[in-house]
């Protein structure tokens, strides 16, 4: 049983570090281009990170109150976390569609 706790701890650390990377990248994007889409990306990434980190601690706390409470709190956090990821995805989609415009290089053979 000890090795399962170790694996769970490793996965939590990996998700934590990945969340930090996404927040840093979102903040860098927002600082370079301040639009509605980058604000949504930043808010979505921060909210998802807080909820994912908080779900670990909420699981520890709610486990003391019984299995029904644990399942109920876990379900609520998963729903809200899904909404945070949806906010991030909507912001990313808006960024790709509206803000990211690719400059077309001139092709001397095709443009003549």
Residue 28 lies in a domain: no
Predicted local confidence at residue 108, as pLDDT: 60
Give the integer Cα–Cα distance in Å for 100 and 94.
9
pLDDT along the chain (112 residues), means of 10: 73 89 95 92 94 79 78 86 93 87 62 54
Q: Examine residue 77 and state whether it is found in any structural domain, yes or no.
A: yes
Global pTM reads 0.76
Q: Is residue 93 part of a domain?
A: yes
**Is 22 part of any domain?**
no
**Per-residue model confidence (pLDDT) at position 45:** 94
Domain range for residue 48?
A: 34-99
Q: Which residue in 84, 21, 26, 25 sits closest to 52, CA to CA?
A: 84
Per the structure, the count of domains in the chain is: 1
Model pLDDT, residue 52: 85
In a domain, 105, yes or no: no
**108 located within any domain:** no
Residue 11 Cα to chain centre, angstroms: 16
Interaxial angle between packed helices 36-62 and 67-94, expressed in degrees from 0 to 180 and rounded to the nearest 10 = 170
**Is 51 a domain residue?**
yes
């Amino acid at each position: 049983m000890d090795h399962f706790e170790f694996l769970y701890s490793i996965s939590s650390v990996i998700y934590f570090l990945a969340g930090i990377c996404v927040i840093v990248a979102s903040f860098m994007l927002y600082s370079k281009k301040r639009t509605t889409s980058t604000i949504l990306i930043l808010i979505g990434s921060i909210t998802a990170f807080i909820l994912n980190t908080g779900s670990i601690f909420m699981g520890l706390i709610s486990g003391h109150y019984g299995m029904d409470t644990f399942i109920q709190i876990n379900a609520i956090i998963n729903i809200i976390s899904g909404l945070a990821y949806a906010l991030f995805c909507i912001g990313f989609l808006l960024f790709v569609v509206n803000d990211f415009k690719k400059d077309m290089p001139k092709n001397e053979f095709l443009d003549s």
